[in-house]
Structure 1
Amino acid sequence: MSDEIFLGLDLATAGARLHAVTSQGKVLTERSLPLPPTQAPARGHVEQLPTYLEVARDLIRHVSADLGRRVGAVRALSITGTSGTVVPCARDGRPTGSAILYNDQRAWAQAEHLSDAGFPSTATSPLARIGWLEANAPARLYLHTPDVVATGLLGRVPPADTSHALKAGIDPVAAGWDTQQLDVLGILPRTLPDLVHPGTELGVVCADAAAETGLPAGVTVIAGMTDGCTAQIGAGAVRIGDTVGMLGTTLVLKAVSVEAVTGYDGAVYSHYAPDGSYWPGGASNVGADVIRSEFGNRNLTELEALADRHGVASAVRYPLPTVGERFPFNRPKAEGFILGEATTPGAAYRALLEGVAFAERLGLEALAALGVKVVSHRIAGGGSQSRLWNRIRATVLDRPVTRPANASSGYGAAVLALASHTRSSLIDVVATTEQTAEVIDPDASQTEGLQRNFERLCEELSRRGYLNTAYQKQI
């Protein structure tokens, strides 16, 4: 087992990345390639040419070449992608049209039909998206991006995993579609794949795919999970009490629970994990994307130094990039705001960093109010590369936070493949593969000032009617 290798393929929006990982968690090689740019043929539409299989084949060829003779030790692979992207396909799983991405909002009419029938929905609902396709550009089969790649590797259409299908009106435990919701939208069950739990063996790579990619015969394809879930695996947050804040374009919070946790008008949802636990979480609209929109091409190293010298922010803000927030409160008409003045670049940057950290604290408190146990918190994503931001987050949360060495979605997918192939629990596998880059302690000298700013923020959020009353008393 010590020489065995596992692959994790991450199909993001801008590109794809493939990790080759040993059974001890060491990354042997990783490769990335771009995916076609997204297109907006009409207002609210977001599409992408579905070249996922072609790009995946190229990546696997590159990694196979990198591994050389060691490619014979590859045992299994798993695929992760964005939640909610839908690809119209023929019955054999080959795409017949552009992928409709997770943030496409064309299906507002279908969402209204679902809501009127007693199934609260939004225009970004994957099921509403499938309903729109069925009404306007029907296909024989609707798949997620990992399903398209798995089909090409297996030579047949496999079941889809319940993680990628979670927001499409399914029962994640029974692994079945909700026929009542399908009936509302006129979707025939035969146009949808069967469902299985994450970690299920889907089959082995077929001879043609092995010849095209350089993989050995007998490599098993494992049903995956969404990119947020596999990043959670990569971060090592798989035990009860573990939480992780993934700070990228947006802030995503994930946790582990023995029971399904939902709440706040759909803002909190729970994935069903391979070990039978539940992974509740929610996604905020605040995050690092605001930095790009507000500071453009400015040198972030210089901005961080200025913000560090400034100390606790003189202004308090909730940095929403556009109208609407999903989590820690679900308010479609919420707007960002700033209290006080930030007259210098350092002051403005510091207030932004604190605002995102405050959203992280609010999110963890919202989860705790629903009964989620919060003991050990990890931080991941591109934003966790900022030492100042990490220290602010630890201080706002008033607890040490851990930054894992490998918390990417592709790495987590490889760990999932390892656990499934060896018939091991994720907890045991993570215990042997997890590597910590650093532990960040709170800055006691700034605790009081940040607490004052947090209280000012909460008062304003309450005044605007944004906070959920279910957990306001905790703040």
Structure 2
Amino acid sequence: MAGVDGADERYVVGVDYGTLSGRALVVRVRDGAEVGTAVHAYRHGVIETLLPDGGPALPPDWALQDPEDYRDVLRRAVPAALADAGVDPSRVIGIGTDFTACTVLPTLADGTPLCEVPELRPRPHAWVKLWKHHAAQPHADRINALAHERGEPWIGRYGGKISAEWQFAKGLQILEEDPEIYHRAERFVEAADWIVWQLCDEETRNVCTAGYKGIRQDGRYPSTDYLSALHPAFADFVSKLDGRLLPLGDRAGSLSARAAAWTGLPVGIAVAVGNVDAHVTVAAARALDPGRLVAIMGTSTCHVVNGAHPAEVPGMCGVVDGGISAGAWGYEAGQSAVGDIFGWFVEHAAPAGTASHERLTELAASQPVGAHGLIALDWWNGNRSLLVNHDLSGVIVGLTLATRPQDVYRALLESTAFGTRMIIEAFVGAGVPVRDLVVAGGLTSNRLLMQIYADVTNRPLGIIGSAQGPALGSAIHAAVAAGAYPDVHRASAVMGRVDEGAYRPDPDNVRAYDALYAEYRTLHDHFGRGGDDVLLRLRAIRNAAAAAPGEAVLEVVG
């Protein structure tokens, strides 16, 4: 606390923007000690059915947010964290932020979100599209098909498929469903960069989201010819993205008077370049060396690992030079639902008496591997890696009248570990080593789940030494941006923390899980790689049943 520290202590603030809330963390620069924290829940949360002011129902698979909720995190969480720390704001030298991604919004040239332009507020496409907005899957399919037809050189850097979550799919959806919004948008901005713009009144772009979410490779975006072939009016899309591109850890600018009034921080302190929640966590976990895969596990999971060279990994989200840290090729993959799956079961399927994670975990931990006789596919929110298809859905095989709630719960835990193993094997098969895992995020407290991951992947598993990994990572980058450390590697070595090898594979469990994983792979390939498209047909039937209100919305805004 400030009352104990010497008068020359310096601090930084990290702000982590999650799916439902924003977290602020005050960190001491000299050793990474976390001295104060606060959380502010978004007032509007995830907008999935109706816009805040009402209107027609949103179509299926939409997920929007209100940018004012992001500003409120600066107004509420940052001052509360400073108060919790008892730190004099004058001793804070920098602020860093991270965001979910791909979370994007259309704005005017000055950064004003289109949803804050009064006459555009009733238009759904004017709002922030959250990472889990999956309604652009048909547009992603066309982007991918045309890229392969033309032999575009960048498509291999994304495992052969661009996700429906990424910038180009969401931008193309706006153009085709509400062209007026598309043309009114002078800028199309990752929320990671927009919040930095709000802090320092300077528009910048970070190499992380530009590379992974914006198809920027080898210094270029996709060509105008390619974009025109997708849609003639899409030729100018890159002009809405392009801007001052900065590496991670750089200083984007200085805190403006307006943002200082929001946060209670001094005018002029360093504002770090924007970053992504998963990628910024690697520094907090001291996992910047190649071969250390960091799994940031929460509602979804993002898998990131540094490599020494570029490789094409089928189904990965991307590989970007400097995408995690300077001097390395950063690889990303992910699962679109993990904690959300467990939460769904507790909330909607577990009977009274077992409807808590704690009770289900306790019951599930008492059974041997394989005793439940079940295999599940972890596609409750589609598949991000390796299939890159958000129209897929979950599967549970092996249910009988003897199946108990804890059996299903354990099978769901295991399914997410099997999905992670698929990703690891894809990396290793393409020549990207994965020696061990470091896990961050809210799910690290579930000891059964962590042991399952160690056993299924047959790798030692470390646990990040912070409950706020992304916020700590953002604070580390803020310290570098403020000049307290020469680079992110050296700041990570001092300010990051990890409990190495907290979980070790159990040889008997490894063998048992090898047999179950073989069955998972069989089901994975059957339902996900063309053996039977029943999941896609079911999704089409569902969407057709909801099409009438969905079409009404698009007719109103188009």
TM-score range normalised by the length of the shorter chain:
0.7 to 0.9
Listed one character per residue, the Cα deviations across residues 27-64 of structure 1 (whole Å, up to 9, x for unaligned) are 11111111222223421432222112243233333334
Q: Which residue of 2 aligns with 1:282?
A: 333
CA spacing shift, 1:452–1:123, aligned 2, 3 Å: closer
Q: Within 5 Å, which residues of 2 pair with 1:399-438?
A: 399-406=459-466, 408-420=469-481, 421-437=483-499
SS in 1 for 2:208: coil
Alpha-carbon distance in 2 for matches of 1:330, 1:108: 10
Is contact 1:419-1:425 (8 Å) kept?
yes
CA spacing shift, 1:190–1:327, aligned 2, 3 Å: closer
Amino acid at match of 1:129: K
Is contact 1:159-1:193 (8 Å) kept?
no
Pick from 447, 451, 457: which aligns with 2:510?
Answer: 447
Pick from 282, 285, 310: which aligns with 2:367?
Answer: 310
Alpha-carbon distance in 2 for matches of 1:357, 1:188: 38
1:267 CA drift (Å): 4.5
Q: Within 5 Å, which residues of 2 pair with 1:4-23?
A: 4-23=10-29
Q: Which residue of 2 aligns with 1:301?
A: 358
1:402 CA drift (Å): 0.8
Alpha-carbon distance in 1 for matches of 2:95, 2:217: 22
Deviates more, 1:244-253 or 1:115-124: 115-124
Q: Which residue of 1 aligns with 2:411?
A: 351
SS in 2 for 1:256: strand
Is contact 2:345-2:409 (8 Å) kept?
no
Pick from 141, 145, 157: which aligns with 2:202?
Answer: 157
Alpha-carbon distance in 2 for matches of 1:348, 1:111: 33
Amino acid at match of 1:325: N
Unaligned stretches of 5+ residues in structure 1: 469-475
Pick from 241, 244, 269: which aligns with 1:192?
Answer: 241
Pick from 92, 95, 98: which aligns with 1:80?
Answer: 98
Q: Which residue of 1 aligns with 2:538?
A: none
Pick from 170, 184, 208: which aligns with 1:129?
Answer: 170
Alpha-carbon distance in 1 for matches of 2:180, 2:139: 11
Amino acid at match of 2:487: S
Amino acid at match of 1:310: Q
Q: Which residue of 2 aligns with 1:338?
A: 397
CA spacing shift, 1:190–1:204, aligned 2, 3 Å: same
Alpha-carbon distance in 1 for matches of 2:262, 2:523: 58
Q: Which residue of 2 aligns with 1:42?
A: 58
Q: Which residue of 2 aligns with 1:27?
A: 34
SS in 1 for 2:412: helix
CA spacing shift, 1:262–1:71, aligned 2, 3 Å: farther
CA spacing shift, 1:325–1:432, aligned 2, 3 Å: same
CA spacing shift, 1:114–1:214, aligned 2, 3 Å: same
Is contact 2:47-2:63 (8 Å) kept?
yes
Alpha-carbon distance in 2 for matches of 1:117, 1:101: 25
Amino acid at match of 2:240: T
1:265 CA drift (Å): 4.5
Amino acid at match of 1:32: V
SS in 1 for 2:143: helix
1:163 CA drift (Å): 1.5
Is contact 2:293-2:438 (8 Å) kept?
yes
Amino acid at match of 2:255: V
Q: Within 5 Å, which residues of 2 pair with 1:16-415?
A: 16-23=22-29, 24-35=31-42, 36-40=44-48, 41-43=57-59, 44-51=61-68, 52-97=70-115, 98-107=127-136, 110-111=139-140, 114-115=143-144, 117-118=146-147, 121=162, 123-134=164-175, 135-137=179-181, 138-154=184-200, 156-172=201-217, 174=219, 176-180=220-224, 183=228, 184=230, 185-187=234-236, 189-194=238-243, 195-265=245-315, 267-270=317-320, 272-296=323-347, 298-314=355-371, 315-322=373-380, 324-330=382-388, 333=392, 336-339=395-398, 341=400, 343-406=403-466, 408-415=469-476
SS in 2 for 1:447: helix
SS in 2 for 1:272: coil
Amino acid at match of 1:304: T
Identity among equivalent pairs (%): 21
TM-score under structure 1 normalisation?
0.88
1:226 CA drift (Å): 0.9
CA spacing shift, 1:355–1:464, aligned 2, 3 Å: same
Amino acid at match of 1:7: V
Is contact 2:316-2:332 (8 Å) kept?
no
CA spacing shift, 1:30–1:294, aligned 2, 3 Å: same
Is contact 1:306-1:345 (8 Å) kept?
no
Q: Which residue of 2 aligns with 1:472?
A: none
Is contact 1:398-1:447 (8 Å) kept?
yes
Deviates more, 1:80-89 or 1:1-10: 1-10
Amino acid at match of 1:30: T
Alpha-carbon distance in 2 for matches of 1:204, 1:222: 9
Alpha-carbon distance in 1 for matches of 2:272, 2:451: 37
Is contact 2:378-2:412 (8 Å) kept?
no
Q: Which residue of 2 aligns with 1:473?
A: none
Listed one character per residue, the Cα deviations across residues 302-354 of structure 1 (whole Å, up to 9, x for unaligned) are 21121111121322413324374232444654752424656122322222222
Is contact 2:23-2:73 (8 Å) kept?
no
Alpha-carbon distance in 1 for matches of 2:218, 2:342: 39
Alpha-carbon distance in 2 for matches of 1:3, 1:467: 60
Alpha-carbon distance in 2 for matches of 1:375, 1:436: 16
Number of aligned positions between the proteins = 466
Is contact 1:265-1:330 (8 Å) kept?
yes
Listed one character per residue, the Cα deviations across residues 49-82 of structure 1 (whole Å, up to 9, x for unaligned) are 2112243233333334444553222111111111
Alpha-carbon distance in 1 for matches of 2:93, 2:169: 37
1:229 CA drift (Å): 0.6
Unaligned stretches of 5+ residues in structure 2: 1-5, 49-56, 116-126, 153-160, 532-558
TM-score under structure 2 normalisation?
0.75
Deviates more, 1:22-31 or 1:440-449: 440-449
Is contact 2:260-2:267 (8 Å) kept?
yes
Q: Which residue of 2 aligns with 1:457?
A: 520
Alpha-carbon distance in 2 for matches of 1:177, 1:449: 46
